[in-house]
Amino acid sequence: RLFDCNHREVILTIDCAMALLLSLCMLKLMREMREDMLDKQAFAGVIRIGAIESIVHSWFPEFLALLRTRYPRLQVEIACDTTVHLSEQLARGQLDLSLQAKPVAGSAVGHVSLGEFPMAWVGSPQLSIGDEQLSLNDLSAFPIMSFARGSEPYTAIEQLLCSESSARVHLNCIASVATMIRVVCDGLGIAAVPPAIIQRELAEQRLRVLPVDREFPPLRLVGAYRNDHENPLTEDVARVAEEAATAFALRHGQAVARLPLHEQGSVDGVFMQGK
């Protein structure tokens, strides 16, 4: 019995009073659960993010700062590796989001464009290379430092030099981008890198862009995320990366970074070409 009724009033029974108290607690918990699920600021999970070094050395710190502002309770685990290895980790479920140079095949993976980094041949002023235009054969006279074997820049360099240079070329693969930049700054060779990752070295004139007669293909960047609903924030976090990449491109200009492709009206082209 919940109520005692007489001709004048309805009185709650002891059982009803207890049921009312418990019902109010249940409603309060349901409201809090709904608010927490809808309020992304309250999300307190873990997201595993991989990134290639060209992104780590450019707009990645701004991306993490923006992510911290948007999701203050979100814990971020970071892995830095080549696109090949990051794609494998994403496919195995070891990463939730990968910021890399090539899309990942599979229906369980979604993508956002993160724009492009133009590439440039650079060297130290210590090499005393003049301002005259250089051919690929001219470049082959210097030790050439490269990203890790199997990376997108390594493959592009190998294809360019093998197809256009008559000289036998040996690429010195360096796994660490920071080490490669240091070696080139010390005048021990030249390299093809995105100017986006050497802004300080260029400003301090420890490196200079070399005039080469053959354009180097740009480094196309994508955010690949798992969309199997195990982590509902993966696409939203990928969009935060897109926002950071856009801000970086607008700040530095087309010579350093190009806008994500949807900003230029051709978002699907890079994904179809990458697959």
List pLDDT tens digits, range 199-227: 999 999 999 999 998 888 999 999 999 98
Token pair of 33 as six digits: 């659960």
CB 152 within 8 A of CB 53: no
What pLDDT does residue 273 have?
A: 36
Measured CA to CA, the distance from residue 180 to residue 189 in angstroms comes to 9
Instruction: Determine what percent of the chain is predicted with pLDDT higher than 70.
Output: 87
Can you give the pTM of this predicted structure?
A: 0.77
Confidence band for 8, pLDDT divided at 50, 70 and 90? confident
User: Where is 106: in which H helix or E strand?
Assistant: none
Helix axes 234-252, 60-70, angle to 10 degrees: 130
Measured CA to CA, the distance from residue 114 to residue 116 in angstroms comes to 7
19-31 pLDDT, tens per residue?
A: 888 999 999 898 8
Angstrom CA distances, 13 to 24, 92, 194, stand at: 17, 58, 76
CB 239 within 8 A of CB 110: no
Confidence band for 181, pLDDT divided at 50, 70 and 90? very high
74-102 pLDDT, tens per residue?
A: 899 999 999 999 999 999 999 999 999 99
Classify residue 182 as left (phi > 0), alpha (psi -120 to 50) or beta: alpha
Residue 231 pLDDT exceeds 70 = no
Measured CA to CA, the distance from residue 100 to residue 241 in angstroms comes to 11
End-to-end Cα separation, the chain, in angstroms: 68
263, burial (CB in 10 Å: exposed 0-12, middle 13-18, buried 19+) = middle
Confidence band for 259, pLDDT divided at 50, 70 and 90? very high
Query: By three-state DSSP, how is residue 26 classified?
Result: helix
